[in-house]
Amino acid sequence: MKLRQTLARIACSFVLAGVCTAVAAPAKAESRREKKKKAEKQFVLRDKRVAKKFTKIQELLDQDKPAEARKVLDSINIKKVKPYPRALVHQTYGLLAGQAEDFDGAIKHYTLSISENALPPQRILSIRFNLGQLHMMQDDWPKAIETLEAWFEDTEKPSPFSYYMLAVAYYQNDERDKAIVPARKAVETSDAPKETWLQLLLSLHMDKEEYAKAEPLLVRLITNHSKKIYWIQLAAVLMELERDTESLAIQQLAYEQGYLTTDRELIRLSQMYLFHDLPYRASKMLGKELESGRIESDYDAWRLYSNALLAAREMESALGPLQTAAKLSENGEGYLQLSQVHIQNERWQEARSALDSAFQKGDLRSPGHANLLLGIVSYQQKRWDSARNAFTRAMRNDKTKGMAEKWIAFVDREETAEMAREASAKAAREAAEAAREEAAAEDTEEAAAEGEETTPALDTAAS
């Protein structure tokens, strides 16, 4: 609808200019060269009554009174006037029909106007161009292409807009390869190409995956018509050109300017940060946007956030997001990851609790791996039977069988060694206790002996 309104407005301006020139041409002819002056004389309304009516029609059209203008136009007896005024009558009928969006009527009258072969060549070219636009408004793309191509053959210096019109016609007729040349000329021949012209050429290059040609167009669109879609497209184009670092820079600029707002866009940016080994930036952005609510609070988002913190060596800060991710997870994978962080920090009881929750939620991708971790935790807690049972379950999985067998053997050796250490410690404790008891007994005997020796002396002294 917007294109149709634009075309109709432009078509009307062309025709209005033509009618005005038909009446005022003699006054302008004086300033032109003699040769052109002679040519113009044959395109002057010599019938004063008809000329007066066209002057009135022009005034009414300027006053936006098309109904009154049509009444004056109807008063001209088209059968009695000469070819030139008759051509002007049809041209004006075409104008009025176009304004009323009667495009069939406009095409009919413009065609009749040209068929009189009485208008100046430049006027005929203008009407032909209008016809091309009218065919476009009728979605008659083949006819529009035919009309416009004929117009281009007789036009010495086509305008950038005319190239754009031809490109649109080819594009709509699904002849996109043919649309590229006029679309490019529209942009190249204009000092300030319109946004829609750049968009069309961009679309054609993107369809052909010509990303190197699309890049400067996107830069131009961002510079002059900055919009979210252009930033996103430029980032994608740079990715296709394997210029990932530049793509990340564009996405970061877009984020800073407030163009990246959806969950998908923000998640993609955080993933790009992680891909480029920038986990700290990823964690800061994810934390901020999870809090703002622009990133949906689901398992995947919290897992990504916790992974970013872990990659940034923020182990303590990662525990909260890991716990949240684990609670939101539909299976036990979140708790399994949480247990691994606790294991790294040698928090064996916390790791065991997380593993218990992982098994409780279930649906683990690798139960063997989870049992292997539980066995390791049990081993560190010196819960030998629990460790052995967990490793035995881990042996049921081909990927963890070998490691589990080694751990069982290690547990057996460690348990035996621990038992030996405990026995040795017990024996040492018992020996120490016996030594203490023996020493105490000796002390008692010595004390008794000393008592017997001192008693006679005391008796003697008493006597």
Local confidence band at 17 (pLDDT 50, 70, 90 cut-offs): very low
**pLDDT band at residue 114 under the 50/70/90 scheme:** very high
Please compute the mean of the pLDDT values over residues 166-193 and round it to a whole number.
Answer: 96
Encode pLDDT of 152-165 as tens digits. 999 999 999 999 99
pLDDT category at 31 given cuts 50, 70, 90 is: low
Give the Cα separation of 236 and 244 in Å (integer): 9
pLDDT value at residue 16:
46
Phi, psi (degrees; rounded to nearest 5) at 175: -120, 65
In the predicted structure, residue 259 carries a pLDDT above the cut 80 = yes
Whole-angstrom distance, CA of residue 202 vs CA of residue 211: 9
d(Cα 239, Cα 402) in Å, to the nearest integer?
43
Provide the percentage of residues in the chain whose pLDDT is more than 90. Answer: 71
- CA–CA distance, 213 with 245 (Å, rounded to integer): 19
CA 217, CA 225: separation in Å to the nearest integer? 11
Does pTM top 0.95 for this prediction? no
Q: How far apart are CA 109 and CA 102, in angstroms?
A: 11
Q: Are 48 and 26 in contact (CB under 8 A)?
A: no
Per residue in 366-403, pLDDT (tens digit) is 999 999 999 999 999 999 999 999 999 999 999 999 99
pLDDT greater at residue 16 or residue 437: 437
Q: Which of 362, 279, 359, 361 is nearest to 321 (CA)?
A: 279
Q: Which residues contact 39 (CB under 8 A, 6 or more apart)?
A: 120
Q: What is the pLDDT of residue 367?
A: 93
Alpha carbon of 228 to those of 77, 235, 244, 253, 257: distances in Å? 58, 11, 19, 11, 9
Q: How far is CA 282 from CA 121, 270, 271, 276, in A?
A: 66, 5, 7, 10
- Confidence category of residue 450, pLDDT binned at 50, 70, 90: low
* Mean pLDDT taken over the chain: 87
- Least Cα distance to 149 among 116, 182, 120 occurs for 182
Instruction: Write 237-243 long-range contacts (CB < 8 A, 24+).
Output: 237/211, 240/209, 240/211, 241/211, 241/212, 241/215
Q: Which residues contact 98 (CB under 8 A, 6 or more apart)?
A: 8, 11, 12, 15, 106, 130, 134
What residues does each domain of the chain span?
Answer: 1-156, 174-242
Q: What tokens were used for 273?
A: 């940060």
Q: What separation in angstroms does the CA of 360 have from each of 21, 338, 340, 382?
A: 89, 14, 17, 23
pLDDT digits (tens, 9 = 90+) for 32-41: 455 444 444 4
Task: Say how far apart CA 115 and CA 11 lie, in whole Å.
Answer: 19
pLDDT exceeds cutoff 80 at 462:
no
